[in-house]
Amino acid sequence: MGYIDELGELVAKRQQETISISDQIWDFAESRFQEFKSARLQIDYLKSLGFAITEGLGGAETAFVAEAGGGKPIVGFLGEYDALSGLSQEADADCHKPIQEGGDGHGCGHNLLGAGSLAATVAIKEYMEEKNIPGTVRYYGCPAEENAGGKAFMVRDGCFDDCDIVLAWHPGSINCINKSGSLANFRVFFTFHGKSAHAAGSPHLGRSALDAVELMNVGVNYMREHMIDEARVHYAVTNSGGTAPNVVQSEAQVLYAIRAPQVNQVKELYDRVCKIAQGAALMTETEVEIRQVAAYSNYIGNDVIGKQIKDHLTESLPLDYTEEELQYAAKFQKVITELDAKNLKARAKRIAGKDSEKLLAMPIWNFVGPDASGKGSTDVGDVSWVCPTGYCHMATLAAGTPGHAWQAVAQGKGSIAHKGMLLAAKVLAATAYDFLTNPELIQAAREDWLEKLDGETYPNALPKDAKPEIW
Ligand SMILES: [Zn+2]
């Protein structure tokens, strides 16, 4: 029996505990920097298994690290456990059915992400003890991946500086390596202050903050024509100034997400968006307050770590799915939108060309897919600037399920999701073993990392005074 099988057995030995942790975190559904119960559950479990815990990393109450072993090399696993706003949804229901109207839900599968990485850490720790393998393993409890980029605060605090290798995964609808990509991203609040007045009796005395928000958005929408194709800019009006049309709105606020492949490209766009905001303030005789609350860096892929993960993934697939599981996935494929179904077809075509029908007949994509380069943003990117980082996706959802949607929340406690999570634990634990036992491999990963950085250093785009905050 090879080490991957032995590690797989260690993961299987504790699978009920792992599944229970994942399901409880799904139930807690705590969003950014409020993951108090989710963090406590994992800390208590890791403590009971002999890990040393440090809490409150990067100024975030719900960030922690659990460590076992000692000395070099140091391999870290990244765990996330934050939910998304407004995505409350009943488990297993194939129609939109919030548990609590307006409540939060795990639309990105971070319940699985945290528990899977945690299970990998526990398995490799127990294996190291059994086989007398020297080195340190760490589980990084990383809060607020969504909307606040929690890891950027931890990186700023130096939490990853002595790591040799970091390993991460993400739930999704395909098994693959993340080769590169993920867009750098800033989150910025623009708050306009105007003057309230009776909108009919004395409109000339009012200065509308809501007008300023609208004009700013119009300005940014004109800017779109003159930015690089890969950039993305989107906004949410977080305060429209009240519900009374007959009161001139004295306060209004809009939250922007500005994305591009490189941090310096985001910085350039951000400066332009700030100018537009100032222009809107000038036009409306209001004042604008600009507050950047998060910064995500782009992900630096690592071919050496990627190859190890891919080899283990190839060795471990396909998984055995029961007829019931295939039917469960097929049921969810019926409730995705027409556009998502089109997207699934296009994706199948990109992967399999003429044979795309074969893929479309599989409700769960049970194979190693082509290497991905993401269009979203992740704060795993920030970690990858300071330490060689391997990153992959595992199929936990029916093929075609959109992320950040109720369909993804609903599948988060199902057995397909659990199987994908346990696969991640086994594959990442085996990859950790490779690096813990082979210093040349660590060196090779480091060289690949330095080559990709090409002399650049971590851009650290967080404003100096930014702190983890609940907003
Ligand atoms: Zn996510």
272-292, pLDDT tens digit by residue? 999 999 999 999 999 999 999
Please tell me what DSSP assigns to residue 61. T
Q: How far is the CA of 346 from the centre of ligand 1 (A)?
A: 23
Section 41-49 average pLDDT: 98
Confidence at residue 465, expressed as pLDDT on a 0 to 100 scale: 87
Q: How far is the CA of 170 from the centre of ligand 1 (A)?
A: 7
pLDDT at 375 over 80: no
Confidence at residue 181, expressed as pLDDT on a 0 to 100 scale: 72
Alpha-carbon distance 209 to 193, whole Å? 6
Q: Are 305 and 388 in contact (CB under 8 A)?
A: yes
Secondary structure (3-state) at 300: coil
pLDDT at 228 over 80: yes
Q: How far is the CA of 138 from the centre of ligand 1 (A)?
A: 20
pLDDT at 464 over 90: no
Q: How far is the CA of 291 from the centre of ligand 1 (A)?
A: 24
- The model's confidence at residue 470, banded by pLDDT at 50, 70 and 90, is confident
- The model's confidence at residue 215, banded by pLDDT at 50, 70 and 90, is very high
Q: Are 124 and 73 in contact (CB under 8 A)?
A: no
Q: How far is the CA of 48 from the centre of ligand 1 (A)?
A: 28
Confidence at residue 90, expressed as pLDDT on a 0 to 100 scale: 98
Q: In the chain, what are the domain boundaries? A: 3-182+298-453, 184-296
What does each C-alpha distance from 1 to 5, 6, 8 come to in angstroms?
A: 6, 7, 11
Alpha-carbon distance 10 to 19, whole Å? 14
Secondary structure (3-state) at 86: coil
Q: How far is the CA of 282 from the centre of ligand 1 (A)?
A: 38
Q: How far is the CA of 308 from the centre of ligand 1 (A)?
A: 23
Q: Are 410 and 335 in contact (CB under 8 A)?
A: no
Section 93-112 average pLDDT: 97
Which CATH number is 3-182+298-453 given?
A: 3.40.630.10
Task: Could you please state the CATH topology (level 3) that the domain comprising 184-296 is classified under.
Answer: Alpha-Beta Plaits (3.30.70)
Section 178-188 average pLDDT: 89
Q: Are strands 74-80 and 135-142 parallel, antiparallel or unpaired?
A: parallel
Q: How far is the CA of 104 from the centre of ligand 1 (A)?
A: 14
Q: How far is the CA of 129 from the centre of ligand 1 (A)?
A: 32
Confidence at residue 147, expressed as pLDDT on a 0 to 100 scale: 86
Q: Are 173 and 400 in contact (CB under 8 A)?
A: yes
Q: How far is the CA of 465 from the centre of ligand 1 (A)?
A: 26
Q: How far is the CA of 109 from the centre of ligand 1 (A)?
A: 7
Q: How far is the CA of 210 from the centre of ligand 1 (A)?
A: 32
Q: Is the peptide bond before 318 cis (omega within 30 degrees of 0)?
A: yes
Which candidate, 402, 435, 432, 369, places its Cα nearest to that of 123?
Answer: 432
Please tell me what DSSP assigns to residue 205. G
Q: How far is the CA of 457 from the centre of ligand 1 (A)?
A: 25
Q: How far is the CA of 146 from the centre of ligand 1 (A)?
A: 7
Q: How far is the CA of 150 from the centre of ligand 1 (A)?
A: 12
Confidence at residue 182, expressed as pLDDT on a 0 to 100 scale: 83
Q: How far is the CA of 113 from the centre of ligand 1 (A)?
A: 8
Q: How far is the CA of 351 from the centre of ligand 1 (A)?
A: 23
pLDDT tens digits, one per residue of 388-445 = 999 999 999 999 999 999 999 999 999 999 999 999 999 999 999 999 999 999 999 9
Q: How far is the CA of 182 from the centre of ligand 1 (A)?
A: 12
Confidence at residue 337, expressed as pLDDT on a 0 to 100 scale: 93
Q: How far is the CA of 108 from the centre of ligand 1 (A)?
A: 5
